[in-house]
Amino acid sequence: MNTRSLKPWLYLLPAILFLTAFMVYPLFDVFVYSVEEGYNFASQTYSGTGIYNYSYVLHDQYFLQAVKNTFILVIITVPLSTGIALLISLGLNSLPKLKDLYQTIFFLPYVTNTLAVGLVFMILFKKTPYSEGFVNLLIHFFGGESVDFIEGPYWAKMFVMCFYTVWIVLPFKILILTSALASVDQDLYKAAKVDGTSRLRIFYKITLPMISPMIFYLIITGFIGAFKAYSDVVAIFGVNLNAAGMNTIVGYVYDMLYGDSGGYPSFASAAALILFAIVLTITCINLLVSRKKVYYD
């Protein structure tokens, strides 16, 4: 091999080394763990190889609950947060005077610590012997029955979870969408106006296609982010998620490794690979759907 073809590889060497050590090897290791049956953490031995770990995880009530929770979270929050972000961005774009102020306000959650926000949400929603929580006070005010959002019925907890997730991801989406809207050539709008195009038609025929790559980007990253939800759930419902019935797939993986019932890297690896398969499938579907709908320059 001559020096000319060697040189690029030399430049890439640091990146390749790091990626191999911290990405490729662990991924491979996870796969290996997931097929080792009866793995013993203390003695680092296993009894055989096979798909038992997958079978166990797929039959585990807690895992199925985690999958259900995660899917509900994804299906509700991704479209909802993207839609709300789009509405807010459109609003921001059409009021130039207060745009800067509102943009700052909307961006605040992004720079606030997840756990701090979680605490605030607990204060808002939690029912204690001393206080009903702010939201319950509101419900009372409008003549409703108080609900325990943190330890109460499943739908109430799921509502808090979705509300929290939408709120926490909004700022980033608003930021992306306002800049996407601002970068649309203003002459296109003028041209449409000269032709008497209705506002609705301008939105569907010009604005939406022009910012479609950014919307698509937000949907893909939104799906992936929501599937990986964990720290937010802990912030609101504490570490014992299985007991609360609010575990997520990543939470399940963590519990299998380090939780009270932990010490099962094989089960954790199997669950992680199942999550990987789910995310990969959804992303591929997204890509296929977007090919027709998204306009790239």
**Of the candidate residues 190, 204, 260, 284, the single one contacting other proteins (CB under 8 A):** 190
Q: Does 210 bind other proteins (CB under 8 A)?
A: yes
The DSSP secondary structure of 206-225, one letter per residue, reads IIHHHHHHHHHHHHHHHHHH
Stretch that binds other proteins, among 57-65, 98-106, 194-202, 262-270 (CB under 8 A): 194-202
Confirm if 188 and 201 have CB atoms less than 8 A apart.
Answer: no
CB of residue 209 to other proteins, shortest distance in Å:
4
**Of the candidate residues 29, 151, 185, 260, the single one contacting other proteins (CB under 8 A):** 185
**Of the candidate residues 191, 284, 285, 287, the single one contacting other proteins (CB under 8 A):** 191
Stretch that binds other proteins, among 59-67, 161-169, 204-212, 270-278 (CB under 8 A): 204-212
The DSSP secondary structure of 119-180, one letter per residue, reads HHHHHHH---SS---HHHHHHHHTTPPP--TTTS-HHHHHHHHHHHHHHHHHHHHHHHHHHH
Residue whose CB is less far from other proteins, 167 or 189: 189
| Tokens found for residue 137 | 């006070």
Q: Cα separations (Å) of 230 from 65, 248, 267, 281?
A: 14, 6, 18, 21
Q: Which of 263, 221, 220, 269 is nearest to 249 (CA)?
A: 269
Residue whose CB is less far from other proteins, 180 or 256: 180
Q: Which of 275, 229, 259 is nearest to 118 (CA)?
A: 229
Residue whose CB is less far from other proteins, 18 or 295: 295
∠ CA 42-57-74, nearest 5°, is 120
Stretch that binds other proteins, among 4-12, 168-176, 191-199, 233-241 (CB under 8 A): 191-199
**Of the candidate residues 183, 198, 231, 261, the single one contacting other proteins (CB under 8 A):** 198
| Tokens found for residue 100 | 């800067």
- Give the C-alpha separation, 252 to 271, whole Å: 8
Q: Does 213 bind other proteins (CB under 8 A)?
A: no
Q: Does 28 bind other proteins (CB under 8 A)?
A: no
∠ CA 281-285-288, nearest 5°, is 140
Size of the site for other proteins (CB under 8 A): 19
Q: Does 95 bind other proteins (CB under 8 A)?
A: no
- Give the C-alpha separation, 16 to 25, whole Å: 12
Q: Does 201 bind other proteins (CB under 8 A)?
A: yes
Residue whose CB is less far from other proteins, 145 or 195: 195
| Tokens found for residue 277 | 């398969």
Stretch that binds other proteins, among 2-10, 101-109, 180-188, 238-246 (CB under 8 A): 180-188
Chain residues that interact with other proteins, rule: CB under 8 A: 185, 187-188, 190-198, 201, 205-206, 209-210, 295, 297
